Amino acid sequence: MSKPELRRAVLAARDRLDPDARRDASAAIGRTLLGLPTLAAATLVGGFWPIRSEVDPRAAMTALAAAGKRIALPQVTPEGLVFREWRPGATLVRAKFGLSEPDPALPEVEPDALIVPLAAFDRMGHRLGYGRGYYDGAIARLSRARPVVTIGVAFAAQEVPEVPMEAHDRALTAIVTEQGIVTPEDARG
């Protein structure tokens, strides 16, 4: 199956999930995120503001901020995805693709950990995004200076046997679903 076909199929399955089940699953995913040592060790965590039927990480981002972590949100620019610091309650700007983004006047920051949205994932840590390569580009750019922890968040229903990979695609450190943590090592048994 091609990437666009796989993306359409998995996103349609995600959209069909009961909204209450999505809310409960998002809460479980958030609790797991808060217990991850890799996020606890991070200085600046890049999150995202959910759209459509995505996992909602806002409660986890708010809890991380309350615990003293700096939080950043992405902004789509012509040069790619950049991150700007966010604080709970800060006003966001409505942007293209239905995104809510931080004020573009804020300075860019470079997270050392990212909570990453996705369309589909497999047990090797491969993610299928929304087809524009924004996160792959940001991960590659941020990783030039130091390793960046990348934690994908998804509903278990978004797991597929194999995500087709291309040279520019970046594997994730781990994926968190309502059923627990998937790390690439899980695939090696």
* Cα dihedral across residues 184, 25, 153, 131: positive or negative: positive
Instruction: State the pLDDT at residue 178.
Output: 98
Q: What pLDDT is stored for residue 132 in this prediction?
A: 82
Domain map of the chain by residue range?
A: 3-184
Residue 185 pLDDT grade (very low, low, confident, very high; cuts 50, 70, 90) = low
CA distance 103 to 90: 9
The residue-averaged pLDDT of 159-171 equals 88
Would you tell me which CATH number, out of the four given (3.40.50.10420, 3.30.499.10, 3.40.1010.10, 3.40.50.720), belongs to the domain 3-184? 3.40.50.10420
Q: Length of the chain in residues, anyone?
A: 189
Quick one: which of 135, 144, 146 has its CA closest to 172? 135
Confidence band of 187 (pLDDT split at 50, 70, 90): very low
Are 96 and 81 spatial neighbours (Cβ–Cβ below 8 Å)?
no
Query: In whole angstroms, what is the distance from residue 162 CA to residue 140 CA?
Result: 22
What does the pLDDT look like over 34-47, one tens digit per residue?
999 999 999 999 99
pTM for the structure as a whole = 0.93
- State the pLDDT confidence band at 188, using cuts at 50, 70 and 90: very low
pLDDT surpasses 90 at 95: no
